[in-house]
C-alpha cells in the first residue's frame, strides 16, 4: 500500500486549524438533502480531528458554478444538514478565503466546525491556481483530504493545498485507498474483473489496464456484443460498436500476452423490444436473429461466471451485465452479484465494486451490504481502474 500520512500521525492538534476537503456534493430537492451518505462519510474524520483538539474548517464543492456566484450552488443549506449528522454545531461562512474567514475560524469555540463556501465559486480553484491556494492555506495549519471522489482533479482544494501544508489522508480516503489496494494494487490472486455496461468506447483504457493486471476478465452488457461481433457473431439489432473490432482485437492480444483469460457470454437473452417484460428467449450465440437485441446474459453464462467467481480470491466489478433497469433483463447482474456477495460474506472473496451505474445495479440486487467495499466515487474510481494517477492521491503520498 502506498504510504501517506494519516490523522493519528498529526499528533496533538490543540488549537490548530485543520482544513478538511470533504465531498458534500449531495443530491438536493427543494433545499433539502435527499441522500446524506456523503455527509455521514465525513463524520469520522471530523470527529477524530476534534478529539485531537483541532478546529475544523470544511472545504467542499457543490455543482459546477465555474467561478461564478450562483445562489443555488451555495453550500449554506448543507451546514445545517451536516450539523444534524455530526451532532454538533456547524457554522457557515459565505466565502472560502480572506481575513474575514480567518476571523470567523479564530472565533470558533475549541474543536468548533465551520463550513466554508463552495470552493468552485472561487476563480482559480479548478485551475489549481497557486495564488488562491496560498490564500486558502493561510487559513489553517494542516490539510486533510477526505474526498477520494474528487481526487481525479488537480484543483486547489483537492491537491494543491497538500503542497503548502502538512497533508494527511482522512479516514474515508484511507478506507477507499485501502480497499482499492486490496483489489488491484496488491490483491490476493486469482483476480477476476467483471466489466459490463453499454459501450466499449467509454472503457477502452479501463479494459487495457485490467487485462495487464487481472487473471480473468468477464465482459458483459452491451460491451460484450461488441466483443462477440468482432469474433464474427451476428448480434442482430443489439447495441454494438461494430467499428471497434480492431480495438477489441488489440485488447484480446494484450490479454493473451499477459495471461488474462477473457470470459464472454456463452448464451444470451434476446428480445425484439427494449422495454421491461418484453417477450424474450434465451439462445446460443449462433441463434441470434437479425431483428433480435441481446439484453442480458443467459443461464449458462451465469453458471460459468459464478464458477469463475468461486475460483477467484478477488473480484473487481464495474458495470451491469445487461439492461438491468428493465426486468427480467436484470437477471444475470442480480444472480452474479448475489454469488459474489455470498462468497464475500463467507470470507472467501474480496469483492470491490464501483463507478457509474454499478452502485445502482448492486443496490438493485440487494447485495451491496455484503460486498467488501463499494466505491461511490464515480469518475475517480474509473480513472483509478484505468491505472491513471489521481492528483489528489499523489499529493498525499510521502
Q: How far is the CB of 229 from ligand AMP (least distance, A)?
A: 12
User: Nearest Cα to 79, choosing from 31, 18, 45, 123?
Assistant: 31
- Using CB under 6 A as the binding rule, whether residue 357 contacts ligand AMP is answered as yes
- Which one of residues 128, 221, 298, 392 is an interface residue with ligand AMP (CB under 6 A)? 221
Q: Which stretch binds ligand AMP (CB under 6 A): 68-76, 172-180, 253-261, 315-323?
A: 315-323
Task: Give the count of residues interacting with ligand AMP (CB under 6 A).
Answer: 17
- Using CB under 6 A as the binding rule, whether residue 354 contacts ligand AMP is answered as no
Residue 203 CB contacts under 8 Å (≥ 6 apart), including other chains: 195, 197, 223, 318, 319
For residue 358, what is its C-alpha cell?
454499478
- Using CB under 6 A as the binding rule, whether residue 222 contacts ligand AMP is answered as yes
Sketch the per residue contact string, 42 through 81, with ligand AMP: x for CB under 6 A, - otherwise.
----------------------------------------
Fill in the DSSP letter of residue 183: I
- Using CB under 6 A as the binding rule, whether residue 235 contacts ligand AMP is answered as no
Q: Which stretch binds ligand AMP (CB under 6 A): 9-17, 80-88, 227-235, 323-331?
A: 323-331
Sketch the per residue contact string, 118 through 137, with ligand AMP: x for CB under 6 A, - otherwise.
--------------------
- Which one of residues 198, 251, 305, 349 is an interface residue with ligand AMP (CB under 6 A)? 198
- Using CB under 6 A as the binding rule, whether residue 144 contacts ligand AMP is answered as no
Residue 72 CA to residue 283 CA, distance in Å, equals 51
Mapped onto helix, strand or coil, the DSSP state of residue 352 is: strand
Longest dimension (CA), the chain: 73
Buried b (16+ CB within 10 A) or exposed e, 359-388: bebbebbebbebbbbbbbbbebbbbbbbee
- Using CB under 6 A as the binding rule, whether residue 265 contacts ligand AMP is answered as no
Q: How large is the C-alpha radius of gyration of the chain?
A: 23
> Toward ligand AMP, which CB reaches closer, 331 or 372?
331
Residue 79 CB contacts under 8 Å (≥ 6 apart), including other chains: 90, 91, 92, 115
User: Helix-strand-coil percent breakdown of the chain, rounded to 5?
Assistant: 40, 20, 40
Nearest residue to ligand AMP, by Cβ distance, number only = 197
Residues in the site for ligand AMP, rule: CB under 6 A?
197-199, 202, 221-222, 239, 294-295, 319-320, 322-325, 356-357
Amino acid at each position: 500500500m502506498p504510504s501517506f500520512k494519516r490523522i493519528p500521525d498529526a499528533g496533538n492538534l490543540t488549537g490548530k486549524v485543520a482544513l478538511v476537503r470533504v465531498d458534500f456534493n449531495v443530491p438536493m430537492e427543494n433545499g433539502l438533502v435527499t441522500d446524506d451518505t456523503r455527509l455521514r462519510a465525513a463524520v469520522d474524520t471530523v470527529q477524530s480531528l476534534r478529539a485531537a483538539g483541532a478546529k475544523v474548517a470544511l472545504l467542499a464543492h457543490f455543482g459546477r458554478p465555474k467561478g461564478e456566484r450562483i445562489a443555488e450552488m451555495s453550500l449554506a443549506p448543507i451546514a445545517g444538514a451536516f450539523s444534524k449528522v455530526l451532532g454538533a454545531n456547524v457554522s457557515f461562512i459565505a466565502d472560502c478565503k480572506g481575513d474575514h474567514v480567518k476571523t470567523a475560524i479564530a472565533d470558533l469555540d475549541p474543536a468548533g466546525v465551520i463550513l466554508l463556501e463552495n470552493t468552485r465559486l472561487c476563480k482559480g480553484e479548478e485551475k489549481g491556481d497557486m495564488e488562491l491556494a496560498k490564500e486558502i492555506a493561510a487559513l489553517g495549519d494542516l490539510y486533510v483530504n477526505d474526498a477520494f471522489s474528487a481526487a481525479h482533479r488537480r484543483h486547489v482544494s483537492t491537491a494543491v493545498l497538500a503542497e503548502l501544508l502538512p497533508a494527511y489522508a482522512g479516514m474515508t480516503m484511507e478506507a477507499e485507498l485501502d480497499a482499492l489496494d486490496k483489489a488491484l494494487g496488491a490483491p490476493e490472486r486469482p483476480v477476476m474483473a467483471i466489466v459490463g455496461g453499454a459501450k466499449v468506447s467509454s472503457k477502452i483504457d479501463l479494459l487495457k489496464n485490467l487485462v495487464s493486471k487481472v487473471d480473468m476478465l468477464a465482459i458483459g452488457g452491451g460491451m460484450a456484443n461488441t466483443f462477440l461481433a468482432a469474433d464474427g457473431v451476428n448480434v442482430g439489432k443489439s447495441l454494438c460498436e461494430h467499428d471497434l473490432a480492431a480495438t477489441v482485437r488489440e485488447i484480446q492480444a494484450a490479454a493473451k500476452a499477459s495471461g488474462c483469460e477473457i470470459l464472454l457470454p456463452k448464451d444470451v437473452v434476446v428480445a425484439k423490444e427494449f422495454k421491461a417484460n418484453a417477450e424474450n428467449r434465451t439462445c446460443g450465440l449462433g441463434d441470434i436473429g437479425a431483428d433480435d437485441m441481446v439484453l442480458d446474459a443467459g443461464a449458462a453464462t451465469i453458471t460459468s461466471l459464478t464458477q469463475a467467481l468461486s475460483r477467484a480470491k478477488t473480484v473487481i466489478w464495474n458495470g451491469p451485465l445487461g439492461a438491468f433497469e428493465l426486468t427480467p433483463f436484470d437477471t444475470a447482474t442480480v444472480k452474479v452479484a448475489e454469488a459474489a456477495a455470498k462468497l464475500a460474506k463467507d470470507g472467501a472473496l474480496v469483492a470491490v465494486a464501483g463507478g457509474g451505474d454499478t452502485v445502482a445495479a448492486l443496490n438493485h440486487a440487494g447485495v451491496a451490504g455484503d460486498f467488501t467495499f463499494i466505491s461511490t466515487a464515480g469518475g475517480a474510481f474509473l480513472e483509478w481502474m484505468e491505472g491513471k494517477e489521481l492528483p489528489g492521491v499523489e499529493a498525499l503520498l510521502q
